[in-house]
Amino acid sequence: MAWHFVGATLRDGRPVPADGEWLVHDGPVAICESGLHASLDPFDALQYAPGAILCLVECDDVVAQHADKLVCRRRRIIKRRDATELLWEMSRWSALRVMQLWDAPLVVKRFLETGDDSLRAAARAAASAAASDAASDAAWDAVRAAASAAASDAAWDAAWDAAWD
């Protein structure tokens, strides 16, 4: 058994097959290039997700396997689940784990803690503004550091030249 995420259609535009129906790839099979892909771990499958529907799949005629995925000639969906809410919860949980690393606006904290959708737009705007301010502060810090280093180098060079004249 393996895991695979799907969107509204398959990547090649074909409809997503019904549960239990074998999907068959005709033609060459090469991992990362062609064939039917899946992952043994759902977290690995997530990095290739074109949508939020998580499928438990059975794979047949596996041609190659990497640490994070495999490629096969035949794959069928055993069961599927819309993982949208789960992915949102996981994203909020992950963000809360690093909340102490920045001075997050209160609306961002509230949204991440509650998932209250009415706070989403305000949280996005506040987080964007905070990130912009942080980037601006970092840029000015870099400018000041560069100017300080240049002034220090110039003063050192002048003192060195004066000492040897």
Q: Could you read off the pLDDT of 37-46 as tens digits, one per residue? A: 999 999 999 9
DSSP 3-state of 90: helix
Q: Could you read off the pLDDT of 59-89 as tens digits, one per residue? A: 999 999 999 999 999 999 999 999 999 999 9
Contact (CB, 8 A) for 56 and 20: no
**Helix, strand, coil fractions of the chain, as percent rounded to 5:** 50, 25, 25
- Output the pLDDT for position 29: 97
Contact (CB, 8 A) for 101 and 131: no
Give the pair of three-digit tokens for residue 1.
């058994």
Is pTM beyond 0.85? Reply is: no
Domain boundaries, the chain: 2-82, 86-152
CA distances in angstroms from 125 to 26, 88, 94, 99, listed in the order given: 47, 18, 19, 17
Q: Would you give per-residue pLDDT tens digits along the chain (165 residues)?
A: 999 999 999 998 999 999 999 999 999 999 999 999 999 999 999 999 999 999 999 999 999 999 999 999 999 999 999 999 999 999 899 989 998 988 888 998 999 899 998 988 988 888 888 777 666 656 665 666 665 565 555 556 566 666 666
CA 63 to CA 41: how far, in whole Å?
18
